[in-house]
Amino acid sequence: MTSSPPPDSEQSGPPASNQGRPPASAGTPKQSSLKGNSRFGDSLFFGLSAGSGILLLAIMAAIAGFLIYRSGIAISKDHTNFLTTFGWDPDNILKPSFGIAVLAFGTVVSAAIAMVIAVPVAIGIALFISHYAPRRIAQPFAYLVDLLAAVPSIVYGLWGALFLVPHLNGLMSWLNEYLGWTYIFKTTHPGAPARSLFTVGIILAIMILPIITAVSREVFRQVPRMHEEAALALGATRWEMIRTAVLPFGRPGIISASMLGLGRALGETIAVATVLSSSSELSLHILDAGGGTFAQNIALKFGEAGSLGKDALMAAGLVLFAITLLVNGAARLIIARRKEYSGANA
């Protein structure tokens, strides 16, 4: 006898793997709807982002075009060299003359002094908060640093004029006595009020210190924990771990933070105008009184300037605008050359 073969399972019903599943067509409308909404949202966000970027570039181009136009009017009527003249008398009816030599020197020197003082101190504070201080001390200390960034410029200016200037005479005398041989720290007016580029640099350093500290602190906190633990496991001390793992990783962030602080130092107005004595003399003795910066000159003379005087101030603003762009461009190039230290490649 031959027994009949068992019924074929493939013919007797649907496959076991498909049991309990809804038909494929049941979920198609909902899935396609979600996919369509997702594509629309991505397109909308991309359009808004691209439009914002283009709008920002258009605004920057409009500002640059306006400054170039007004600067051209002023420079065409200047009877002296705009780049090398020390004086500022654009509203002279007979012979307008003005230049940016003193302003450029004062802006660059005061910002350089501020950076030399602020950057090392800011990095030290950031390392103390992120890697040395206990948590119960680090958090209040970080809040205090962030709070200092919100202090208005006029407060720093008044503090500098009423407190810092009278108390800097002793330091200036010491610098003149022991470092006067460097020519830079030699003063030709001993005992004069300390309303100089050196004083302005100290105030600017205090102003930009919270910005550099806050950004550097957040960068140091992003260092991969395994990098720090690996350095410590190899026998490194805490400082050696920071030097070999933390600082190389955070170098682009430190540069970015420093450039943010430098941008504020270059454009600071009220604090500089409150402390610095305006003068058309250019001196390499940074302890001597007098000088000026672009922002200070614009703030002090815009209200009383005539038509040509305002155009001349626009020309000074154009130079400050160009310096700021050059500084930020240089920072971007430095960061791009150090991509091997960035978090993306860590």
User: What is residue 205's predicted lDDT score, i.e. its pLDDT?
Assistant: 94
Find the angle CA(316)-CA(318)-CA(323) to the nearest 5 degrees.
Answer: 100
CA distance 22 to 43: 32
Which residue, 267, 260, 254, 256, is CA-closest to 149?
A: 260
Given this model, what pLDDT does residue 346 score? 41
Q: Are 113 and 201 in contact (CB under 8 A)?
A: yes
Q: What is the pTM of this model?
A: 0.80
In 84-104, which positions are buried (b, 16+ CB within 10 angstroms) versus exposed (e)?
A: ebbebbbbeeeebbbbbbbbb
Would you list the DSSP string of 49-62?
HHHHHHHHHHHHHH
State residue 129's pLDDT score.
Answer: 92
Q: Which domains does the chain have, with CATH numbers?
A: 99-345 (1.10.3720.10)
Residue 286 has a pLDDT of 84
Report the pLDDT value the prediction gives residue 12, as an integer from 0 to 100: 46
Q: Which residues contact 2 (CB under 8 A, 6 or more apart)?
A: none
Q: State residue 149's pLDDT score.
A: 83
Question: Given a cut of 70, is residue 4 above it in pLDDT?
Answer: no
Question: Cβ distance 265 to 154 under 8 Å?
Answer: no
Q: What is the pLDDT of residues 234-289, one digit of tens each?
A: 888 889 999 999 998 888 889 889 988 998 898 888 889 888 877 777 778 888 76
d(CA 70, CA 88): 17
* Segment 21-64, tens digit of pLDDT: 555 444 455 554 545 556 888 888 889 999 999 999 999 999 99
Kindly tell me if the per-residue pLDDT of 17 is higher than 60. no
State the pLDDT confidence band at 117, using cuts at 50, 70 and 90: very high
Half-sphere exposure of 70 (CA within 13 A, CB side): 18
Residue 116 has pLDDT above 90, yes or no: yes
| Per-residue pLDDT tens over the stretch 148-159 | 888 888 999 999
pLDDT recorded at residue 86? 87
Q: For residue 343, what pLDDT band results from cuts at 50, 70 and 90?
A: very low
Sequential DSSP letters for 219-277: HHHTS-HHHHHHHHHTT--HHHHIIIIIHHHHHHHHHHHHHHHHHHHHH--HHHHHHSP
Q: Which two tokens stand for residue 316?
A: 């000074």
- Residue from 144, 152, 266 nearest 214 by CA: 144
End-to-end CA distance of the chain: 77
Length of the chain: 346
Q: What is the mean pLDDT of the chain?
A: 82
